[in-house]
Amino acid sequence: MRLILLGPPGAGKGTQAKMLSDYFGIPHISTGDILRAAVKEGTLLGVKAKEYMEKGLLVPDDLIMEIVKERLEKPDCEKGFVMDGFPRNLYQAEGLKKILEEKNIKLDAVINFDVPKEELIERFTGRRVCPSCGASYHIKYNPPLKENICDKCGSELIIRADDNRSTVEKRIEVYEKETMPLIEYYKNEGILISIDGTKSIDEVFKKLIGLLRGEIQ
């Protein structure tokens, strides 16, 4: 099974990617993880990427493509993979298409998680974390027993700096500009599956498996 997961930040791609990875016995490939792994391993490409990352710059598309290509050549990808957070734009999508064609590999599906903007904002801005023990909560979906107090250690909960509304809106704006065009791109390729990402984690996963196995349309 060879899959790509698309969707805005906070849509649940990472969670579903891990579950799909376990279910099908295929590696979960996220751009962030493979960049960090390449840097840690000190590969030639990793050293190049580190130079950009240390300066706080975005790693160029062409370098990311090379790192993705290197990752796909590892033995654990022979049975398939689930990509999360890649490709991010049309240039990367075209580059990935060429890499897969060279390897005579076809994607089985591209899954788009559809979640309204306001719900995404609510998911982020409602998050609370404990600065002492790292426990995480959500004021609506997973509230602490006592308001704003950690159940585990009693510390006062905080809002992470990047969970404020303006930061979240900017992240969604970047996604809409750069990544949303991929929905139409993969629709034209005939492999796009759109799924309602507002349902529970288990409901979304069950629907996904049914669609991928052709048990439901």
Our answer to whether residue 213 is catalytic in this structure is no
DSSP helix/strand/coil, 1: coil
Our answer to whether residue 128 is catalytic in this structure is no
Our answer to whether residue 165 is catalytic in this structure is no
Our answer to whether residue 2 is catalytic in this structure is no
Which listed residue (160, 170, 177, 206) is catalytic?
160
How many angstroms separate the CA atoms of 44 and 42, rounded?
Answer: 7
Torsion of CA 189, 170, 124, 203, to 10 degrees: -10
Tell me the pairing of strands 109-114 and 28-30.
unpaired
Which listed residue (18, 50, 171, 207) is catalytic?
171
Which listed residue (13, 71, 123, 128) is catalytic?
13
Which listed residue (71, 88, 123, 128) is catalytic?
88
Q: Is 41 exposed, middle or buried (0-12, 13-18, 19+ CB in 10 A)?
A: exposed
Which listed residue (2, 71, 123, 127) is catalytic?
127
Our answer to whether residue 123 is catalytic in this structure is no
> Active-site residues: which are they?
13, 88, 127, 160, 171
